[in-house]
Chain A
Amino acid sequence: MHDSKLVIGPSDPMLVEPVRLVFGIRNGKIRSVDVDLGYTHKGIEKMLETKNYVQAVPFVERICGICSHCHASNFCYAVEKLDGVEIPERAKFIRTIAAELERIQSHLLALSLTMEDIEQKKLMRETLDKREKIVDAFEEFSGGRVHHSINVIGGVRLDIDKNAANMIESAASEAAEYSKKLEAICKNDLVKKRLEGNGMLSKEEAKLLGVVGPVARGSGVDYDVRRAKPYGKYAEIDFNVKVHDEGDSLARTMVRIEEIPESAAIIKECFDRMQPGELKVRWGGKPRVGEQIHLVEAPRGENLHYVVSRGERTPYRVRIRPPSFANLQCTAKILEGAEVSAIPPAVISLDPCISCTERTAYISKRGIAYVEYRG
């Protein structure tokens, strides 16, 4: 049989962001996948070396629009850890609430895109509608629907007032209720037949490839940064880490669905225990000489920020390793030997975020930023 190639991208309705996927096909089965990145590379890490620490926080937030709070809070945590700044209790609670709310929002978006790809338009719209409630609560609380700008080094800038607290709690509990419905829908054949057995990733392969977040937990790897290396308020809060052993697209989707009520419960507990108090401590603007790594659990998995300081007003070097960077590499593994129709649900079940991923670029002789993974 002839070998052929299927090229998806750079702009494609399946993945809204620009990325090019090149599938090598033989006998109607996928043999290889090349992920051609570099379309959204901007050079944020280099730019961060020219910004002072106050300017850097909103700039880091603009790495990604879906997990903007995770990046901003992670950068703040890293600098605070480096300089030994202890942030007030209330700030820790507010950061935890924002992170969990963002997790619900991101998971609902991923689920709605999954529903779109298996041609369930109505479910997609319903899920998007539930997500709107969360985003509205965010706007009421912080003033921004997507980029919240609540973090500064030394605490948070904005307090949660009563109105916003009510909106956040009701939106979270509504999403938790809706997740029960989604769970029931995923047992239905309409959804199950499209997702079950699609994009298999075994536990050993998941460990070898180093995948993180819901992708790893869908393959039976019991790893969550919130429990392994607690930060913020997670050490004092009791929550379950949802793990599925099947390793297919359905398992990854189910992990996301089941995480929504857990996040809602964490938000509720935070509101119950939160006491009025200081929001931020004063910080000089120059951390001490040294380097520090901090990890947070972003909606898509482990997010790493590495900050090197030489005691100046600007960071010497910032390295960011977002979760999609790890997760995108298993595309070749999970699609090997699959049919072409299996591509959209499998790729979407990884929930790839391209603008997060594009941190590194290899400049070839022709001067084009080009990053390539071969599976």
Chain B
Amino acid sequence: MSNTGVEDIIKKFPRVYSLALAGCNGCDIEIIAILSPKFEQERLGIEVVKSPKNAHILMVNGTVNRKLKKHLKNAYDQMADPKLVVAVGSCGISNGPFRECYNMSCRVDEVVPVSIYIPGCPPRPSAILYGLKKTLEKCPLDLAPAPQKTRAKLVRDKKICINCGACTLVCPSKACYFVQDKEKRRVDFNLAYCTFCAQCVEVCPVECLKMVNEYELATSKKEELLI
């Protein structure tokens, strides 16, 4: 990002263009829900625009398939500098559950540089706003808490976990997998792949897994999503 003073304008009045790629529509409607009076992104100074040409932030959701790769690059090139890219949802980060499908060509961050990843399947509107806050450090401090039952984050107690791999059999997107660590074999969880369906929580024999309602997952380092 070049230092031209435009950053101040971006920080105060960012204009966001939401680009839907080959997803399932879920993240799309959560981004539409930000427009509703309950979340009201405009009070934060964020404006949703209808063309990438006058946007500062590109919000990408969905997977990149063969037909869309060129289109994503094209949308990014149309934006004026300085520009930021936010990847929303598991699909935007890693192609999520669809990453082994035959029509996937690459990930979003292989085509354009991504500054913030917001995991979730789909992330709640508050989680998306939190992600934008991380990008801009500009958001009300009191984000409403999610209900107790919300499946927003998977936590694992590594002390209890016996690495039996029962979760790998039920995971629809292979977010948990075996890793050979010297002589021991362990199970790793990657929230970038996760669909947050909580089937692993149900099958865990020692109950080391838990779904909690903390949705503040947005991060600039993908490694932090490994639990």
Contact partners of A222 in chain B: CB under 8 A: none
Interface string of A59-70 (1 = CB under 8 A from B): 101111110100
Q: What CA separation (Å) do A218 and B25 show in the bound complex?
A: 25
**Closest CB of chain A to B63's CB: distance in Å?**
6
Judge whether B25 and A353 touch: CB under 8 Å: yes
A125 — nearest CB in chain B belongs to which residue?
B37
CB-contacts of B1-45 with A (<8 A): 18-30, 32-33, 35-38
Judge whether A17 and B25 touch: CB under 8 Å: yes
Contact partners of B18 in chain A: CB under 8 A: 16
Judge whether B147 and A63 touch: CB under 8 Å: no
With contact pairs A39-B67, A39-B68 given, residues A149 and B197 touching in the complex (Cβ less than 8 Å)? yes
Judge whether A41 and B103 touch: CB under 8 Å: yes
Contact partners of B71 in chain A: CB under 8 A: 10-11, 18, 39
Contact partners of A13 in chain B: CB under 8 A: 50
B203 — nearest CB in chain A belongs to which residue?
A54
Binds A, one of B133-141, B170-178, B184-192: B170-178
Contact partners of A52 in chain B: CB under 8 A: 169
Number of interface residues of A (CB under 8 A): 59
A61 — nearest CB in chain B belongs to which residue?
B197
Judge whether A16 and B103 touch: CB under 8 Å: no
**Closest CB of chain B to A53's CB: distance in Å?**
10
Q: Pick the most buried of B29, B33, B151, B199: most chain A CB atoms within 10 A of its CB.
A: B29
Contact partners of B130 in chain A: CB under 8 A: none
Judge whether A128 and B196 touch: CB under 8 Å: no
Contact partners of A194 in chain B: CB under 8 A: none
Judge whether B66 and A16 touch: CB under 8 Å: no
**Closest CB of chain B to A198's CB: distance in Å?**
22
Interface string of A112-136 (1 = CB under 8 A from B): 0000000000000110110110011
Check if A277 is an interface residue, CB within 8 A of chain B: no
Q: What CA separation (Å) do A346 and B133 show in the bound complex?
A: 38
Contact partners of A101 in chain B: CB under 8 A: none
Judge whether A65 and B25 touch: CB under 8 Å: yes
Judge whether A47 and B29 touch: CB under 8 Å: no
Contact partner, A355, options B24, B122, B124, Cβ 8 Å: B24
Judge whether B122 and A65 touch: CB under 8 Å: yes
Q: What CA separation (Å) do A358 and B68 show in the bound complex?
A: 14
**Closest CB of chain A to B44's CB: distance in Å?**
16
With contact pairs A143-B150, A145-B124, A368-B67 given, residues A65 and B24 touching in the complex (Cβ less than 8 Å)? yes
Q: What CA separation (Å) do A13 and B28 show in the bound complex?
A: 12
With contact pairs A46-B101, A157-B202 given, residues A355 and B25 touching in the complex (Cβ less than 8 Å)? yes
Interface string of A25-55 (1 = CB under 8 A from B): 0000000000000111111101100111011
Check if A94 is an interface residue, CB within 8 A of chain B: no
Contact partners of B151 in chain A: CB under 8 A: 143-144, 149
Contact partners of B28 in chain A: CB under 8 A: 16-17, 65
- Give the total number of A-B pairs whose CB atoms are below 8 A apart: 172
Check if B119 is an interface residue, CB within 8 A of chain A: no
Judge whether B36 and A131 touch: CB under 8 Å: yes
Q: What CA separation (Å) do A134 and B202 show in the bound complex?
A: 26
With contact pairs A65-B24, A65-B25 given, residues A59 and B173 touching in the complex (Cβ less than 8 Å)? yes
A contact face: mostly helix, strand, loop, or mixed: loop
Check if A83 is an interface residue, CB within 8 A of chain B: no
Contact partners of B122 in chain A: CB under 8 A: 65, 145-147
Check if A169 is an interface residue, CB within 8 A of chain B: no
Check if B97 is an interface residue, CB within 8 A of chain A: yes
**Closest CB of chain B to A362's CB: distance in Å?**
12
Q: What CA separation (Å) do A40 and B27 show in the bound complex?
A: 14
Check if A361 is an interface residue, CB within 8 A of chain B: yes
Contact partners of A40 in chain B: CB under 8 A: 21-23, 62, 65, 68
Check if B88 is an interface residue, CB within 8 A of chain A: no
Check if A56 is an interface residue, CB within 8 A of chain B: yes
Check if B106 is an interface residue, CB within 8 A of chain A: no
Judge whether B22 and A64 touch: CB under 8 Å: no
Q: What CA separation (Å) do A50 and B101 show in the bound complex?
A: 10
CB-contacts of A160-183 with B (<8 A): none
Check if B100 is an interface residue, CB within 8 A of chain A: yes
**Closest CB of chain A to B190's CB: distance in Å?**
16
Check if A369 is an interface residue, CB within 8 A of chain B: yes
**Closest CB of chain A to B169's CB: distance in Å?**
7
Q: What CA separation (Å) do A136 and B19 show in the bound complex?
A: 25
Judge whether A355 and B38 touch: CB under 8 Å: no
List the interface of chain A (C-beta within 8 A of B). Answer: 10-11, 13, 16-18, 38-44, 46-47, 50-52, 54-59, 61-66, 68, 109, 125-126, 128-129, 131-132, 135-136, 139-147, 149, 157, 353, 355, 358, 361, 367-370
Query: Top 10 closest A-B pairs, CB basis?
Result: A65-B26, A65-B25, A128-B36, A43-B101, A58-B197, A40-B22, A13-B50, A55-B172, A143-B149, A146-B26
Can you name 19 A-B pairs with beta carbons within 8 Å? Answer: A16-B20, A16-B32, A38-B67, A41-B67, A41-B103, A42-B63, A46-B102, A47-B98, A52-B169, A55-B169, A55-B172, A65-B28, A68-B24, A132-B36, A139-B146, A142-B149, A157-B202, A368-B66, A369-B103
A43-B104, A369-B66 are known; give 11 further A-B pairs, CB within 8 A: A39-B22, A40-B62, A42-B63, A42-B103, A43-B102, A43-B103, A47-B98, A58-B195, A125-B36, A126-B37, A144-B196
